[in-house]
Amino acid sequence: MTLATQFAETTRHSATKAELKTRVLHLYRRFIRNSHEFADLYELDMPVSSIKTKIRQEFERQRFVTDLNVSNVLYMKGQMEFQELINFWKQQCHTLKYFQEQDAYNTYDKNDFVKNFLRGN
């Protein structure tokens, strides 16, 4: 049984980039370590390696943010996202939105000639 407050974290502002980097790496590791649980909880029909890849992409997307205040907000959003995922406060459709563009690329649309041509179909 998971307590709702087990993964809660008080909102605090990192004063230095080094402190924030440590916190972000800790959050990233928590996401990666719990990727198996995310797959089981949300019954995701994909390999765990794809989930880990998507987690990595989401963190990499924000890698070059230089403003410390913006980075602090992004960290807290990531922390809230982790808590919602691990406590099963989301529905499967909310979780699958992260994988939409990945799935959309692999679908075959007989009416879209350009996409099919570029994919080699």
The tens-digit pLDDT sequence of the chain (121 residues) is 556 666 677 778 899 999 999 999 999 999 999 999 999 999 998 899 999 999 999 999 999 999 999 999 999 999 999 999 998 888 888 888 888 765 454 555 666 677 667 666 6
For residue 23, being part of any structural domain is answered with yes
For residue 50, being part of any structural domain is answered with yes
pTM, entire model: 0.75
For residue 120, being part of any structural domain is answered with no
Q: Residue 54 belongs to what domain range?
A: 17-100
pLDDT of residue 103: 47
Domains in the chain: how many in total? Answer: 1
**Beta strands of 33-103 (E only): which ranges?**
none
For residue 116, being part of any structural domain is answered with no
- Per the CB < 8 A criterion, the answer to whether 52 and 35 are in contact is yes
d(CA 6, CA 108): 43
pLDDT of residue 23: 95
Rounded (10°) angle between helices 68-86 and 17-33: 20
For residue 45, being part of any structural domain is answered with yes
For residue 111, being part of any structural domain is answered with no
CA distances to 90, 101, 111, 113 from 117, in Å: 37, 18, 11, 6
pLDDT of residue 110: 64
For residue 35, being part of any structural domain is answered with yes
Kindly report the three-state secondary structure assignment for every residue of 70-93: HHHHHHHHHHHHHHHHHCCCCCHH
For residue 108, being part of any structural domain is answered with no
